[in-house]
Chains A and B, each alone.
Chain A
């Protein structure tokens, strides 16, 4: 049999439709399903592509998508690609949230991606008005169904053409668009699908509630299912967040083999899912409960396994993985057939000597496994030398699915990609051939599986009384014993600030951040004027701030030594559902 062409996302969709097996299933809030076989997905995408071509969308154009999980998303996503254009999925606004910051960020992303058009739906079209007003995409903001029809004219798409632009890092004013070729996307898909070969002509199936603007949802779930081809059941993230049991019930109902999620989702299931929501649920089909996209708390992973073992969950199903947008998705995987591994390392030697030395009472870190087929990994020291096992350094990777670069950002690309290797900005070490992460050298907040630019949080507190202008630093990290990364905000007091101002500052800062970003700050730390570490050019150094904080080296303002404790540890009576595993949130 001739080899089927799957060199691009488009060719793979055609192959899936020709094969005839599988498709996409959507579950709504009431768990009602609608199923769209791949041939139908293709037919709908052709109609969408015809409309886009009539509007003037040409090969290589970037088209942004702001749509909730549903078949409309895929009409846009595949339609754009059939027309030879490049989809740029962006996240929709948050329910009940303030939109100023959303408009600013989304407009910046539209501009950075050079989007010619924004596709959305009726309900969101009005909400997006201000975003569109700011970014002014050339062809505006439209709904596919409103665009005049035209029959689709086939366009040649080559493996080297761009297949996706996604965002993960940068700042709110200067987001970095990760440009991935069809070749990279399909290379990632092939590496993933090689992990779960077809048995007796039966392809594995999956369930995902992950947002489709997130690489783990789109590249990690939908594209592999299309490549097999197989079926993938999709649930809206808002359904999962409010009713996590729907996720577990779907895995059981559709006998899913694969379903990935970030650490926080496993924790949410432990705290929110009740036994009476799981009547008849059998999780034994679930072999790849992939755990990635944020730091993994060992206590949460154990609590999840223990909680759902009575429902057939296999202890080896929970599989820590590591990856990043710049590599299309996954880079390392733990073994699928054994329970997740964690080791304890001497915390002082880790922090002070950057050496991993096993210690029975040391800090527990979860192994992220080994590089996937075709990937290599090296840990690099401060002088650029490759480190031996057990020495902490920056993690560099190479493999078949690296990005082409940051779109339109040659300098940022040159810093990240050197001789075919990608600087992940993550810090970690190798131990018995497996990757363990200890922190980040790059400036990014990772909360509930999503990346945020730190300046988003820092700008929210601009102008608060008592704060030295521009002297706020936001960092997130996983403290020992916590159930996920915590968000900490360091505020440098103004020299002339009054005690009353400093007393009010932590709470004012929490409210400002919550209002502007929807993020709850776990810890506010007031420090004395001039104590936040800076570069020689005066830029605040976030990673260094965190390092000094963890080492207890940041000085509070002299007048408020006692206050710092109050500000740091005061919790609202309503801090959002916290897990009580592994000894509580902070260790």
Chain B
């Protein structure tokens, strides 16, 4: 799965579970731009894990600032 496909999957999660109706861009920040509070961040993490059938490394969690960071983390898990 390439970055574009993973981004599309993350965008589908954001649309279904976070009501995000605008395009999702890699440079968008999860907190400041997507305005995710702690419950919605948790929802994003869990639903992305469900969709891609991966377990994100929680020790990396706090380093994931942007949508692009999240896409890269999913990719590492899919490859790894």
Contact B62 A242 (CB under 8 A): no
A96 to B14, CA, bound (A): 15
Query: Which residues of A, 542-582, contact B by the 8 Å Cβ criterion?
Result: 572-577
Chain A proximity of B47: nearest CB distance (Å) = 6
Q: Are A97 and B61 in contact (CB under 8 A)?
A: yes
- Per the bound structure, the CA–CA distance linking A555 and B17 in Å amounts to 39
Quick check: is B2 within 8 A (CB to CB) of the other chain?
no
Among B32, B58, B59, contact of A514 (Cβ-Cβ < 8 Å): B32
Name the distance in Å between B24's Cβ and chain A's nearest Cβ: 12
**Residue pair B19, A96 in contact (C-beta under 8 Å):** no
A347 in the interface (beta carbon within 8 A): no
Q: Which residues of A contact B27 (CB under 8 A)?
A: none
Task: Answer whether residue A99 sits at the interface, using C-beta atoms and an 8 A cutoff.
Answer: yes
Q: Given A124-B58, A127-B59, A573-B21, does the pair A95, B35 have CB atoms closer than 8 Å?
A: no
A–B pairs, 7, beta carbons within 8 Å: A93-B62, A95-B58, A96-B42, A242-B43, A448-B39, A511-B31, A514-B32
Task: Please report the total number of A residues contacting B with Cβ < 8 Å.
Answer: 30
Contact with B along A98-128 (1 / 0, CB 8 A): 1100000000000000000000000110110
Asked whether A336 is an interface residue with its Cβ less than 8 Å from the other chain, the reply is: no
A518 at the interface (CB under 8 A from B): yes
CB distance from A410 to the nearest CB of B (A): 34
Task: Please give, as numbers and ranges, the residues of chain A lying within 8 Å of B61 by CB-CB distance.
Answer: 93, 95-97, 127
Contact A242 B58 (CB under 8 A): no
B40 A576 Cβ-Cβ under 8 A: yes
Please give me the residue from chain B that is nearest to A94 by CB atom.
B38
Bound-state CA distance A573–B36 (Å) is 12
B45 pairs with A520, CB closer than 8 A: no
Q: Say if the beta carbon of B3 comes within 8 Å of chain A.
A: no
Within 8 Å CB of B46, what residues of A?
A: 29, 95, 238, 242
Given contacts A94-B41, A94-B42, 9 further A-B contacts (CB under 8 A): A29-B46, A96-B41, A98-B31, A127-B62, A517-B38, A518-B38, A518-B41, A519-B38, A573-B21
Residue B52 at the A interface, CB < 8 A? no
B45: chain A residues within 8 A (beta carbon): 95-96
Tell whether, in the assembled complex, residue A98 and residue B32 are in contact, meaning their CB atoms are under 8 Å apart.
Answer: no
Indicate if the CB atoms of B35 and A514 lie closer than 8 Å. Answer: yes
Tell me the interface secondary structure of chain A in the complex. Answer: loop
- Is A96 within 8 A of B62, CB to CB? yes
CA distance A124 to B57 in the complex (A): 10
A28-71 with Cβ < 8 A to chain B: 29
Q: What's the minimum C-beta distance from A412 to chain B, rounded to whole angstroms?
A: 28
Chain A positions near chain B (C-beta within 8 angstroms): 29, 93-99, 123-124, 126-127, 238, 241-242, 448, 510-511, 514-515, 517-520, 572-577
Which residues of the partner chain B approach A29 to less than 8 Å between Cβ atoms? 46, 50
Give the most central of B17, B18, B34, B35: most A CB within 10 Å.
B35
Is B71 part of the contact surface with A, judged by Cβ < 8 Å? no
Measured between beta carbons, the chain B residues less than 8 angstroms from A127 are: 58-59, 61-62
Instruction: Check if B32 sits within 8 Å of A515, measured CB to CB.
Output: yes
Contacts of B20 in A (CB 8 A): 574
Residues of B within 8 A of A515 (CB): 31-32
Q: Is B64 an interface residue when CB atoms closer than 8 A count as contact?
A: yes
Least distance between A145 CB and chain B CB atoms (Å):
18
- In this complex, what residue of B is CB-closest to A237? B42
A99 to B58, CA, bound (A): 12
Determine the distance from Cα of A370 to Cα of B80 in the docked complex, in whole angstroms: 58
> Is B19's CB under 8 angstroms from A97's CB?
no
Q: How far in angstroms is the closest Cβ of chain B from A494?
A: 23
Q: A241-B43, A242-B42 are in contact. Are A98 and B62 (CB under 8 A)?
A: yes
Contact A97 B41 (CB under 8 A): yes
Expressed in whole angstroms, the Cα–Cα distance for A29 and B61 within the complex equals 19
A94 to B19, CA, bound (A): 21
Task: Determine the distance from Cα of A488 to Cα of B20 in the docked complex, in whole angstroms.
Answer: 24
